[in-house]
């Protein structure tokens, strides 16, 4: 009997284990989770439980917008079919050498951070000290997680995970928090690292942080302010801002959607879906229909009555996230597609411009490049300011990705013209790096009113057509700027450099990476390598790499002693990936948030 009872006990245990595994599988399948690969369990919860906080403006569970149901659509292929290419051993060896050089730069940067600023937000690459710019939670630590994983730095990754598992989101060094920066760097970094490694503690920390950021939506109209006080959040005394950048409020959809997909909790997605509806409602009612002004009044019915439009600072990622959220939702929400197509149509008619090139510089043919400027519109008159912003260089990748995703081949071409425009700008300066902001002389555009932005006519002149050089026009634009910014030495058609700094930004290499993966044009690999060498030469320090004061400097550059977390998270990651095998972080399987954190796309 004892033997029989023991056998029955064993059978019951086995049956119970099978049932538990089956239930676990079903639950994980519903929330897009899989068991962790790394058995690190040193999780330390934050000292304040944001999930238990009582809401001042509660939302009934029945009123939450659920994630779209149904199987994800089979989306168009994004990446070029690299399988058809005949890669030579010499080609592969060259890319490996380049990739290893980027990896060495990342290791040098990470070691400087690890040795001199561990768990701080940044390391100062000249003085080699710690610095806190984003609440002191360890921005570089979290921002670098997925880069460490992608580069195969597993020892460094595991050490970083141990430190991340102890972050206390209630112990920041500031009384306020930027919703935008915390979302893209910290939450995006945690979600991407979890999607790559399936380390469970990272998702737990992401949920903790997600609860804190979700509290920012506890306002009368459920729209969040970007800057909010922790005291006000806890007491439920928040209000949406009257002057909010569209980048801040429009760049939450990827991270919050992915958090809902991974946890099965719809509240995060519901919060950003509410924002989406306001963008959708106002898109055709602005002073430049199809686009939103850089700032909106989120407190008062999302009024979008300002007059400045563009895709650079304070606007950029709001547009970037439209096509990417469509992908992350498996193509099940058409509103993101419609908003993207309307926005890029308006950009092509009003925001993008072609520089006016002197024939003497380019006797054969001028470069086939475009740039994104700034537009001022009062609803009737549209004025283009032909500014060149490094931040706007992401636009090449945005146009190309959306063009491939939505079967708009012309937009892929525009994306390449924008990406190569930024490369051309890099090549015009002594350091081989373009500045933060400069001005150019653009080809004259046909007169247009803002009302024509969303419609097209076959008889309308092409606003992006090439033009002949006009010395008088250039002199007029250049007048008054020569004495104070050294523009006499600038190559035409530049007329001024308003901000000569280079801050280790990633936007130009981001677009080159995306264009390479989409078109397969191998010359872009050489372009990327030339950019990497120029950046390293201008920014390298004894300890790491530093932002510089002036891209116009010949030889030695003056360092700003600053290395923000996006240097490892974005710039070096994109350089590494462009020299990697195309299947590594395929554009068909991942979407990058605006901090270059890859999030896994649901499969059809």
Could you identify the residue written with the tokens 């009934």? 60
Size of the chain, expressed as the number of residues it contains:
604
pLDDT at residue 157 greater than cutoff 80: yes
Q: How far is CA 292 from CA 197, 217, 418, in A?
A: 37, 21, 21
Tokens of 92: 């592969």
Report how far residue 351's alpha carbon sits from residue 310's, in angstroms, rounded to the nearest whole number: 7
Q: How far is CA 496 from CA 340, 352, 483, 484, 488, in A?
A: 32, 19, 10, 9, 9
Mean pLDDT of the region 580-593: 97
Report how far residue 604's alpha carbon sits from residue 584's, in angstroms, rounded to the nearest whole number: 20
Kindly indicate the confidence band of residue 89, based on its pLDDT and cuts at 50, 70 and 90: confident
Mean pLDDT of the region 107-111: 98
Could you identify the residue written with the tokens 């760049």? 251
The string of DSSP letters for 44-84 reads ---SS-GGGSPPSS---GGGSPPPPPSPPP-PPP-S--GGG
Bind-site residues = 594
pLDDT, residue 10, reads 45
Mean pLDDT of the region 412-418: 98
Nearest by Cα to 453 from 380, 553, 346, 558: 346
pLDDT at residue 339 greater than cutoff 90: yes
Report how far residue 446's alpha carbon sits from residue 240's, in angstroms, rounded to the nearest whole number: 39
SS (H, E, C) 212-272: HHHHHHCCCCCCCCCEEEHHHHHHCCCCCCCCEEHHHHHCCHHHHHHHHHHHCCCHHHHHH
187, 25 contact by CB (below 8 A): no
DSSP state of 376: E
Summarised one tens digit per residue, pLDDT across range 52-72 is 999 999 999 999 999 999 999
Mean pLDDT of the region 181-188: 98
Report how far residue 214's alpha carbon sits from residue 271's, in angstroms, rounded to the nearest whole number: 8
Q: Which of these ranges, 1-5, 342-346, 533-537, has the smallest mean pLDDT? A: 1-5
Kindly indicate the confidence band of residue 26, based on its pLDDT and cuts at 50, 70 and 90: very low
Mean pLDDT of the region 365-379: 96
Q: Where are the beta strands (DSSP E) in 102-247?
A: 122-123, 130-131, 176-178, 227-229, 244-245
Q: How far is CA 163 from CA 40, 118, 239, 255, in A?
A: 11, 9, 34, 22
Mean pLDDT of the region 334-363: 94
Q: Is 586 exposed, middle or buried (0-12, 13-18, 19+ CB in 10 A)?
A: middle
| Predicted model pTM | 0.91
pLDDT, residue 386, reads 97
Residues annotated as catalytic (active site), given as ranges: 181, 316, 436, 507
Report how far residue 137's alpha carbon sits from residue 66's, in angstroms, rounded to the nearest whole number: 31
The string of DSSP letters for 454-498 reads T---TTSPPTT------HHHHHHHHTTTHHHH-GGGSPTTEEEEE
State the angle between helix axes of 267-282 and 200-214 in degrees (0 to 180), rounded to the nearest 10. 50
Report how far residue 26's alpha carbon sits from residue 18's, in angstroms, rounded to the nearest whole number: 12
Cα atoms in the Cβ-side hemisphere of radius 13 Å centred on 352: 29
DSSP state of 384: E
- Nearest 5°: phi and psi at 244? -115, 135
For residue 403, give every residue at least 6 positions away whose Cβ sits within 8 Å of its Cβ, in sequence order, or none. Answer: 409, 410, 411, 412, 413, 414, 415
Distance of alpha carbon 573 from its chain centroid, rounded? 12
Bind-site residues for Ca(2+) = 594
Tokens of 321: 């996230």
């Amino acid at each position: 009997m004892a033997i029989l009872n023991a056998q029955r006990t064993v059978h019951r245990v086995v049956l119970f284990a099978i049932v538990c595994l089956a239930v676990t599988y079903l639950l994980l399948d519903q929330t897009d989770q899989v068991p962790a690969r790394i058995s690190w369990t040193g999780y330390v919860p934050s000292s304040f439980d944001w999930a238990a906080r009582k809401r001042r403006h509660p939302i009934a569970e029945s009123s939450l917008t659920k994630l779209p149901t149904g199987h994800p659509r089979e989306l168009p292929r994004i990446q070029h079919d690299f399988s058809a290419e005949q890669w030579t051993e010499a080609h592969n060896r060259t890319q490996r050498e380049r990739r290893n050089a980027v990896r060495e730069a990342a290791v040098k940067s990470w070691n400087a951070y690890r040795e001199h600023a561990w768990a701080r937000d940044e390391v100062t690459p000249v003085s080699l000290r710690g610095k806190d710019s984003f609440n002191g939670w360890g921005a570089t630590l979290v921002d670098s997680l997925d880069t460490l994983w992608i580069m195969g730095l597993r020892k460094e990754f595991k050490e970083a995970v141990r430190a991340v598992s102890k972050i206390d989101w209630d112990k920041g060094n500031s009384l306020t928090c930027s919703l935008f920066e915390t979302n893209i760097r910290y939450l995006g970094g945690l979600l991407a690292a979890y999607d790559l490694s399936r380390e469970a503690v990272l998702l737990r920390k992401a949920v903790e942080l997600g609860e804190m950021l979700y509290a920012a939506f506890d306002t009368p109209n459920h729209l969040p302010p970007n800057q909010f006080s922790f005291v006000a959040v806890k007491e439920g005394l928040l209000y949406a801002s009257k002057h909010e950048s569209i980048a801040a409020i429009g760049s939450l959809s990827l991270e919050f959607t992915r958090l809902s997909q991974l946890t099965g909790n719809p509240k995060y997605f519901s919060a950003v879906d509410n924002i989406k509806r306001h963008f959708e409602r106002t898109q055709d009612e602005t002073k430049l229909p199809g686009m939103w002004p850089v700032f909106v009044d989120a407190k008062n019915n999302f009024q979008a009555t300002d007059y400045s439009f563009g895709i650079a600072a304070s606007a950029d990622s709001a547009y970037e996230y439209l096509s990417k959220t469509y992908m992350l939702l498996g193509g099940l929400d058409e509103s993101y597609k419609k908003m993207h197509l309307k926005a890029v149509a308006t950009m092509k008619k009003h925001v993008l411009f072609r520089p006016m090139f002197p024939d003497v510089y380019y006797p054969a043919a001028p470069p086939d490049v475009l740039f994104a400027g700034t537009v001022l519109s009062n609803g009737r008159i549209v004025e283009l300011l032909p500014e060149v912003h490094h931040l706007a260089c992401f636009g090449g990748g945005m146009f190309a990705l959306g063009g491939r995703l939505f079967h708009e081949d012309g937009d892929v071409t525009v994306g390449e013209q924008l990406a190569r425009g930024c490369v051309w700008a890099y090549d015009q300066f002594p350091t081989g790096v373009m500045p933060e902001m400069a001005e150019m002389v653009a080809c004259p555009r046909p007169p247009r009113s803002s009302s024509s932005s969303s419609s097209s006519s076959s008889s309308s002149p092409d606003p992006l057509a090439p033009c002949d050089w006009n010395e008088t026009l250039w002199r007029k634009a250049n007048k008054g700027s020569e004495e104070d910014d050294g523009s006499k030495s600038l190559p035409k058609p530049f007329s001024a450099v308003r901000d000569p700094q280079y801050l280790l930004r990633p936007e130009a290499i981001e677009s080159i990476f995306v264009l390479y993966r989409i078109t397969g044009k191998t010359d872009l690999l050489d372009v990327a390598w030339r950019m990497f060498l120029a950046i390293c030469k201008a920014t390298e320090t004894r300890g790491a790499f530093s932002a510089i004061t002036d891209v116009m400097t010949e030889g030695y550059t003056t360092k700003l002693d600053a290395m923000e977390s996006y240097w490892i998270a974005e710039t070096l990651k994109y350089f590494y990936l462009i020299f990697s095998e195309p299947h590594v972080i395929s554009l068909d399987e991942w979407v990058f948030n605006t901090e270059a954190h890859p999030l896994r796309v649901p499969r059809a």
